[in-house]
């Protein structure tokens, strides 16, 4: 029997065999050769030559890049890239590839890491440092423009801290509080109706039946998490990286080292918006200063004489680096805005793609599930007015990293 290669497990799927701690037979990723690996295990045969050794598997499982070399290499690589245009093209092409490689290495193991958060904050601080030391002394930036860039940077960090306070974790007491409040309101209404319509009959038995029916209706839309073993509200999902269920889970963002859920989705969108606007404005100021005779749009592609001085070459290289980062985050911002407009989360979109129940719209930028959408205006009103249903014990200043 020829097995079809399965996709990586979704957040709420049962645990894959590749996630067990048996390093020797964990080489059959995505369960593609499950039967063959199981037969080898029963017959006590060694793994195939293409599989990794237990020592190498243990090293990859415990892979973690130290923060100090990453923080030292970033300015060093940018200065090397500023020496020549060919070096710049090579390094700026290799950097995103290395970051993506490390992302897939950590994402496959469902591991939290502060590497991407540290890289993002350090890149922001280093770009601002170069702006102050290299661009500001040239005299092309006014005090108002400097204040705008500074305010945008601090606003981005402040919004990021607010986002890190917690996505809205689902707790065991959330379902109990919801059931008691809804059951009390609906139960009292039905009880009054039963008493008034059936005075001479046995109203106590009818009241108990009504209360039981109401309780079943309340729990109908709630589901039980197979991992946390707790009841969770609709649209909530389990994040294997964080190890908890999150209300209205959108996705786990590696750049903030936290989930994006009901409690921090608005602040996450605000952080993206402020960062993209501040970065675009800063890049335009840098290009206007080092390439005054070129338009801002074309200055990134053609800026004659920029490599004649080391300072202008470094600023031009950093402008390209910032443009690459900003382009990626701008794409994420567009996808987020479209998902909110269709009232669908990233998790729901991925599940709809997997189950083939959604419709691809706008050239594949958004997946319309049609389950919760009530129109563009109502979808944004719901997003802007939603609130965290519980106070998460994990939310606070202790989770800033």
Q: Name residue 258's beta-bridge partners.
A: 253
From residue 165, alpha-carbon distances to 3, 122, 345, 355, 399 in Å are 44, 20, 20, 33, 6
Q: Which residue has the tokens 């890149």?
A: 123
Strands (E) across 228-300 are located at 231-232, 237-239, 244-246, 251-253, 258-260
Q: Which two tokens stand for residue 95?
A: 């950097």
> Dihedral through CA 241, CA 252, CA 100, CA 113, nearest 10?
-50
Contacts 24+ apart (CB under 8 A), 203-207: none
Non-local CB neighbours of 299 within 8 Å, separated by 6+ positions: 287, 288, 290, 291
Q: Is 253 a catalytic residue?
A: yes
Q: Name residue 367's beta-bridge partners.
A: 360
Choose, from 242, 253, 259, 303, the residue flagged as catalytic: 253
Q: Residue 158: helix, strand or coil by DSSP?
A: helix
**What is the β-pairing status of strands 231-232 and 251-253?**
unpaired
Q: Residue 258: helix, strand or coil by DSSP?
A: strand
Non-local CB neighbours of 210 within 8 Å, separated by 6+ positions: 187, 190, 191, 194
Q: Where are the alpha helices (DSSP H) in 136-222?
A: 143-163, 172-197, 203-220
Non-local CB neighbours of 107 within 8 Å, separated by 6+ positions: 254
Per-residue DSSP letter, 26: T
| DSSP secondary structure letters along 301-362 | T--TTGGGSHHHHHHHHHHHHHHHHHHHHHHHHHHHHHHHHTT--HHHHHHHHHHT-SEEET
Q: Where are the alpha helices (DSSP H) in 29-66?
A: 34-43, 54-61
| Catalytic residue positions, numbered | 253
């Amino acid at each position: 029997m020829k097995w079809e290669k399965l996709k990586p497990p979704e957040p709420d799927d049962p645990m894959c065999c590749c996630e067990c701690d048996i390093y020797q037979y964990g080489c059959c990723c995505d369960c593609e050769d499950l039967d063959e690996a199981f037969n080898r295990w029963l017959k006590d045969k060694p793994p195939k030559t293409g599989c990794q050794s237990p020592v190498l598997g243990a090293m990859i499982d415990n892979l973690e890049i130290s923060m100090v070399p990453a923080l030292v290499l970033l300015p060093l690589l940018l200065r090397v890239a500023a020496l020549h245009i060919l070096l710049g093209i090579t390094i700026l092409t290799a950097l995103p590839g290395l970051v993506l490689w490390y992302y897939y290495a950590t994402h496959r193991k469902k591991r939290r890491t502060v590497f991407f958060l540290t890289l993002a904050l350090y890149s922001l601080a280093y770009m601002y440092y170069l702006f102050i030391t290299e661009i500001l002394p040239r005299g092309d930036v006014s005090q108002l423009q400097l204040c705008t860039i500074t305010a945008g940077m601090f606003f981005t960090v402040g919004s990021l801290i607010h986002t890190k306070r917690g996505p809205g974790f689902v707790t065991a007491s959330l379902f109990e509080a919801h059931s008691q409040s809804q059951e009390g309101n609906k139960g009292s209404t039905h009880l009054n109706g039963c008493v008034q319509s059936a005075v001479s009959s046995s109203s106590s038995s009818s009241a108990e039946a009504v209360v039981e029916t109401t309780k079943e209706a309340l729990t109908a839309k709630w589901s039980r998490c197979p991992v946390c073993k707790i009841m969770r509200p609709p649209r909530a999902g389990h994040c294997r990286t964080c190890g908890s269920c999150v209300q209205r889970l959108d996705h786990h963002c590696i750049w903030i080292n936290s989930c994006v859920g009901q409690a921090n989705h608005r602040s996450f969108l605000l952080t993206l918006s402020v960062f993209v606007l501040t970065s675009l404005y800063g890049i335009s100021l840098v290009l206007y200063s080092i390439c005054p005779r070129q338009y801002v749009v074309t200055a990134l592609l053609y800026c004659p004489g920029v490599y004649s001085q080391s300072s202008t070459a470094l600023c031009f290289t950093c402008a390209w680096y910032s443009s690459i980062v900003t382009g990626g985050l701008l794409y994420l911002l567009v996808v987020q805005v479209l998902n909110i407009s269709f009232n669908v989360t990233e998790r729901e979109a991925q599940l709809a793609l997997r189950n083939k129940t959604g419709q691809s719209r706008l050239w594949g930028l958004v997946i319309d599930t049609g389950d919760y959408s009530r129109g563009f205006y109502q979808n944004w009103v719901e997003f802007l007015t939603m609130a965290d249903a519980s106070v998460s014990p994990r939310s606070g200043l202790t989770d800033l990293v």
